[in-house]
Amino acid sequence: MTDAPAPLADPHLVYDPVAGDGPKDVVILGSTGSIGTQAIDLVLRNPDRFRVTALSANGGRIALLAEQAHRLRVRTVAVAREDVVPELREALAARYGAGEPLPEILAGPRAATEVAASACHTVLNGITGSIGLAPTLAALEAGRTLALANKESLIVGGPLVKALAKPGQIIPVDSEHAALFQALAAGTRADVRKLVVTASGGPFRGRTRQELAAVTVEDALAHPTWAMGPVITINSATLVNKGLEVIEAHLLYDIPFDRIEVVVHPQSYVHSMVEFTDGSTLAQATPPDMRGPIAIGLGWPERVPDAAPVFDWSKASTWEFFPLDNEAFPSVNLARHVGELAGTAPAVFNAANEECVEAFRTGALPYLGIIDTVTRVVEEHGTPAAGTSLTVPDVLEAETWARARARELTDRTASAEARA
């Protein structure tokens, strides 16, 4: 273990690109999404610690984006959709006073990447999907601390991220990886026997594969403990999200896949655990709320007081743990497989899943068709090129093929069901 490469995320190392007094300058990518809105809530409650200099969003919630820009007094606002720029200018003008300068507006598919490289201390990447890879690489190359909530950029571009990241430069924001990050601070790397990643089990915990055949989109979106965006919520229902987190844990902490375990914990109080060689297991626990992990990402190595709610220990509670049903939820083992293949295999897995989730949301694919189709796309992709030689064009080409193939298979499934 001592000869293994240094982990990407190490709580014992602190990377400080801009040392100095005063609030940390922060850029928030995906500001109108679940992570972004909670991060802004945290910033507004801690103006002495954080100052937001730029925001980016896709452009689907212009009124909210303009309100955020005005409240935070940011220098720059970036939107991926160029067609919404006139609406954004109008919304900003309606909120700013006469003669008050409006923030700079960047628009287009590279807008988030541009602000990720702008002058700041920390970039919070809260974008959903593999489109977060370019901003992740830009932030790392520019020397910013990266608070990473966009797991997909690490999944699809692991070797690219590892080649750029300096020790301590990445702070994980996923609740599970923020938990592992904190628990790992209790020992040395050589002391670690196992990482235990917890899963709520989603809305279908306890159901057999046969019982999952008729579930609806509404069923899949009814997560029992977390309020998240629709894609992540459906990924939690299929446990694809947990599979991605296993790959992410391997990449962040350089722990082999056979020493990363998934356990179902319905209450979502324990966010993950680290088992040490002496038999001790350290668990990180808080009530389900993403503001705690976000505060770790933005504030580390300091903690932000009252960032998230705490337990009321005067009330009785029960915490349960169950083994994962890999027959009903094969996505975790499939993720281990593509993680071990490395190269472009994780990009194929992720891209095919994104297409299949969208097909499920629109009624073109049944729930069980999501992982079945992803499995077939992964199998057809075969053994990828070696991960050490991975390039951004390799990732984009693999994703393009996987999306196209997933759509072809989805169309065939829809046609077959229509004829039935």
pLDDT of residue 2: 38
Question: Is 236 a known ligand-binding residue?
Answer: yes
Average pLDDT score over the chain: 93
pLDDT of residue 417: 62
- pLDDT tops 90 at residue 184: yes
Q: How far apart are CA 393 and CA 380, in angstroms?
A: 20
Over the stretch 243-275, which tens digit does the pLDDT of each residue have?
A: 999 999 999 999 999 999 999 999 999 999 999
Question: Is 242 a known ligand-binding residue?
Answer: yes
pLDDT of residue 231: 85
In 37-86, beta strands by DSSP E: 50-57, 76-79
Q: Residue 129 — very low, low, confident or very high, per pLDDT cuts 50/70/90?
A: confident
Question: Is 245 a known ligand-binding residue?
Answer: yes
**149 phi and psi angles, rounded to 5 deg:** -105, -15
**200 phi and psi angles, rounded to 5 deg:** -70, -25
Type of residue at 83: D
Question: Is 241 a known ligand-binding residue?
Answer: yes
Q: What percent of the chain has pLDDT over 70?
A: 95
Which 3-state string (H, E, C) describes 166-219?
CCCCEEECCHHHHHHHHHHCCCCHHHEEEEEEEECCHHHCCCCCHHHCCCCHHH
Domain ranges within the chain, ordered by starting residue:
24-173, 177-419
pLDDT of residue 19: 65
Type of residue at 281: T
Q: How far apart are CA 400 and CA 208, in angstroms?
A: 33
Q: Are strands 145-148 and 170-172 parallel, antiparallel or unpaired?
A: parallel
Q: How far apart are CA 346 and CA 399, in angstroms?
A: 10
Q: How far apart are CA 58 and CA 65, in angstroms?
A: 10
Over the stretch 284-333, which tens digit does the pLDDT of each residue have?
A: 999 999 999 999 999 999 999 999 999 999 999 999 999 999 999 999 99
pLDDT of residue 412: 78
pLDDT of residue 418: 55
Over the stretch 8-53, which tens digit does the pLDDT of each residue have?
A: 999 999 998 876 778 999 999 999 999 999 999 999 999 999 999 9
**346 phi and psi angles, rounded to 5 deg:** -60, -35
CATH domain 24-173 topology: Rossmann fold (3.40.50)
Question: Is 151 a known ligand-binding residue?
Answer: yes
Q: How far apart are CA 342 and CA 202, in angstroms?
A: 27
Q: What is the mean pLDDT of residues 173-182?
A: 96
Question: Is 331 a known ligand-binding residue?
Answer: no
Question: Is 223 a known ligand-binding residue?
Answer: yes
Question: Is 32 a known ligand-binding residue?
Answer: yes
pLDDT of residue 420: 56
Question: Is 410 a known ligand-binding residue?
Answer: no
Question: Is 175 a known ligand-binding residue?
Answer: yes
